[in-house]
Structure 1
Amino acid sequence: MHKDRFLLGAGGLAGAAGVALAAMAAHAGGEHMQTASSFLLMHASALVAIGLLATTRLLRFSGFVLLAGLILFVGDMLARDFLGDRLFAYAAPIGGSLLIIGWLLVFASAFFKPERT
């Protein structure tokens, strides 16, 4: 079985950040914090699973695309709450598009033979 420790760690960090942001949103509010928390939590388990499996290069690549999309999307949501402005123009749509592409790559990876260890 192949593993990608970076993606596994990123999944753990995304999960921890998602829980922390959920707590902050519950106590301090913040219009976009709950959205950021939800996205972190829903993608954390995917990153952990991909990090543990990483059976093909395409699956591994999909994990990095998901991670990049997550960073951009969540970064933009948090910038809006904490900085009062966007991270940069189109950061959230680019991040969201990368998340969609990442999930489509996960789908496509199902049709590739696992690499030999």
Structure 2
Amino acid sequence: MGLDLDRAVGVLAGLAGAAGVAASAAGAHAYAGTNLDTAGKMLLVHAAALLALAGPLGGSRRLSRLAAVVMAVGIALFAGDLAMRAVTEAHLFPMAAPMGGLLLIASWLIVAISFVARRG
């Protein structure tokens, strides 16, 4: 099965999103003080733009819905934990932010897979 341009752009968006989350995490921890966090932000912003440009049909409906649910849970855990720590200095629960980050990476990979799996 060959990839048409919309599918290729959708796959690239998913991969860029996953790489952006991973780069942002690495830039905040292992490579703090480098441009890796900035690179991650650029990947994430442009992943969303590529996804919007990937065509009106999007990816596989079932996988797109799964990606949306996984992304929503990932956002809630990651951002929720960071916000709670900022306000109360307490964690949402142990490992909430890393778990949320992994779910965000997984959701972007599901986006990429949804474009490969799309019919038509």
Structure-1-length-normalised TM-score:
0.51
CA distance in 1, matches of 2:118, 2:98: 32
Could you tell me how far 1:64 is from its partner in structure 2?
Answer: 1.0
Could you tell me how far 1:97 is from its partner in structure 2?
Answer: 0.3
Partner of 1:78: 83
Structure-2-length-normalised TM-score:
0.50
- Structure 1 residue ranges, 4+ long, deviating more than 6 angstroms after superposition: none
CA distance in 1, matches of 2:57, 2:65: 9
Cα 1:53–1:66 shift into 2, 3 Å: farther
| 3-state SS of paired residue (1:85) | coil
Query: What aligned pairs does 1:1-117 form with structure 2 within 5 A after superposition?
Result: 55-56=59-60, 57-114=62-119
Describe the superposition over 1:27-56 as per-residue Cα deviations: whole angstroms up to 9, x where unpaired: xxxxxxxxxxx8xx95xx58x95xx85652
**Structure 2 unaligned runs (5+)?**
1-40
CA distance in 2, matches of 1:79, 1:53: 37
CA distance in 2, matches of 1:54, 1:85: 39
Matched residue count: 73
Residue 58 of structure 1 contacts residue 105 of structure 1 at CA under 8 Å; is this kept in 2?
yes
Equivalent pairs: percent with the same residue? 39
Higher relative contact order, structure no. (Cα contacts within 8 Å, ≥ 6 residues apart): 2
Could you tell me how far 1:113 is from its partner in structure 2?
Answer: 2.5
